[in-house]
Structure 1
Amino acid sequence: MPEYRRILLDGAVVEVRREGAELVAGDGRRVAAGTAHHLPPVVPGKIVAVHLNHRSRVEEFGIRLTPAPTYFHKPLSALNAHGGAVVRPEGCHYLNYEGEVAIVIGRTCRNIAPADAGAYIAGYTVANDFGLHDFRDTDAGSMLRVKGSDTLGPLGPGLVTDWDFRGKYLRTYVNGELVQDGSTDEMEWDMHYLVADIARTITLHPGDVLLSGTPANSRPVRPGDVVEVEAEGLGRLRNHVVTGPTPIRTDVGAQVTASEEVLSTALGGDWEFRGIRPPVRTTF
């Protein structure tokens, strides 16, 4: 399956094609994939993400799936790339990974049937839809700061075309340990359905990205952790977590919290309504 990447090569943004362990530019220059400075593989005009889609995630929270998917918007300033640092602001504790598959639009798309959606998809890439759940009490509806803070949208390493999304594993690793193990077959709504659903009222343009949901066991990570997301046939997206240089300002806006809502989302399970307390983590 062809795979295309965007890298910084000799100071310029260059689109390359992966050939084994090497990346090859149009002018013939070659660079080792493992040492290249990666950029996000696409330049989207918008990033749309589905709230819940994997059945294991729904079961983890002990809730009933909505009759149709619901979505939120992730700002472009959240974009990050393979190898990039994910910043957990000082004073925040609940930065969760969410391994996902990202759909990349290839043609202008509006008011199409799910059966026709494949013709409008350029390809797929790996995503990690990081969530800063310290802000969940105030942004649960919009997810603006929860999912839209700077660096929380890594994509990559490359854009793979001609990829069949059916029956593919989706796995997340933290410091080499497997922490999420899901499959695209557990998605309630497949890639084509999601594209057609959004395109009913929102025109999708080439490069736009749709995030298709995460399996169970999204949990907090801390500075120093290395998080990798692997989707079968799409490669492995690697990022590391660092601490932000300054704390969240306290003289403006809602402040970070550790309420039942925050803990139940960050640590998995609806603790409030089950009448039990979440496990206490002593270090973050």
Structure 2
Amino acid sequence: MREFRRILLDGTVVDVERHGDTLVAGDGRETAVADAVHLSPVTPSKIVCVHLNYSSRVQEMMTTLPPAPTYFHKPVSALNSHDAAVVRPAGCKWLNYEGEIAIVIGRTARNIAPDQAGDYIRGYTIGNDYGLHDFRDTDSGSMLRVKGADTLCPLGPGIVEGWDFHDKSIRTLVNGEVRQDGNTGEMQWDMHYLVADIARTITLQPGDVLLSGTPAISRTVYPGDVVEVQVEGLGTLRNHIVEGPAPIRTDVGAQPTESEEVLSTAQGGDWEFRGIRKPDLSRTR
């Protein structure tokens, strides 16, 4: 396996390869991993996300999977990076993490079979598909404002080539405490299936990203929290939550809501029946 990252080095965007604790540029310059200023490891033309895929998440939502995967789109303006801030807009409360594995396309893909898809994948990175559920009651289910706000799609720290996605652990930690703990063996549709499915009608270009779903227990995080997504063989993506400097404008557009749908999705819903501690809904820091 080889891992590639994109960092700021001497004020310039540089692609580097990881060698242990050192990042090495093509011209031979080196910097320590711990000292690097990371950027998103890829600049996609599109970010496609599957709704439900992990069996634990399906069970948690007390639903069933559709006969085929369904998807939504995050705008590329939502891109963020390892060790960067994720911004919760002032006036909003219900920002949730979703630790995921991101597929990075390496070759133009159109109308390919699932057993061919691996040849079109460059590698994999870690993603956190943050959702701002204050806007869940708007946009007729498109998820645009829930999942599309600036900074809500951190990727990284690097792209790992040659990684086998089978039977790999995926965990999300908040302030060092494990919140999500899953395995890729839970996935109904694997990485190759997802790529082939989308490429039937949408041409995938090199650098495009597909987010492959999250396991159970997506919950709300707050300014000051540190969120880490750990994937076996891919490393750790770390971000911290901050509050935006300006409130959501009230003179235009739909406003944040706090309906039963919002609260149930953000905090788990039906807590009494799931053995999950009922949250303190006054905690909005």
TM-score (norm 1): 0.96
Query: Superposition pairs for residues 5-44 of structure 1, below 5 Å?
Result: 5-44=5-44
SS in 2 for 1:127: strand
Corresponding residue for 1:135?
135
Corresponding residue for 2:260?
260
- Post-superposition Cα deviations, 1:222-259, rounded to whole Å, max 9, x if no partner, equal 00000000110001000000000000011111110110
Q: In 2, are the aligned partners of 1:53 and 1:188 still within 8 Å (CA)?
A: yes
One-letter code aligned to 1:169: S
Say yes or no: does 1:50 pair with 2:46: no
SS in 2 for 1:34: helix
Q: Find the aligned partners of 2:139 and 2:220 in 1 and give their Cα distance.
A: 18
Q: In 2, are the aligned partners of 1:61 and 1:270 still within 8 Å (CA)?
A: no
Corresponding residue for 1:152?
152
Give 1:142 deviation, angstroms.
1.1
The two structures, once aligned, show a CA RMSD in angstroms of 1.5
Instruction: Name stretches of at least 5 consecutive residues in structure 1 with no aligned partner.
Output: none
Give 1:270 deviation, angstroms.
5.6
Corresponding residue for 1:239?
239
One-letter code aligned to 1:136: R
- Post-superposition Cα deviations, 1:65-114, rounded to whole Å, max 9, x if no partner, equal 11110000100000000011000001111000000000000000000110
Query: Superposition pairs for residues 1-284 of structure 1, below 5 Å?
Result: 1-139=1-139, 141-269=141-269, 279-284=279-284
Q: In 2, are the aligned partners of 1:62 and 1:269 still within 8 Å (CA)?
A: no
Q: In 2, are the aligned partners of 1:171 and 1:182 still within 8 Å (CA)?
A: yes
- Post-superposition Cα deviations, 1:151-200, rounded to whole Å, max 9, x if no partner, equal 00000000000000000000000011110000000011000000000000
Number of equivalences:
281
Identical pairs, percent? 72
Q: In 2, are the aligned partners of 1:62 and 1:270 still within 8 Å (CA)?
A: no
- Post-superposition Cα deviations, 1:105-139, rounded to whole Å, max 9, x if no partner, equal 00000001101100000000000000000000103
Q: Find the aligned partners of 1:87 and 1:209 in 2 and give their Cα distance.
A: 22
One-letter code aligned to 2:221: V
Give 1:34 deviation, angstroms.
1.1
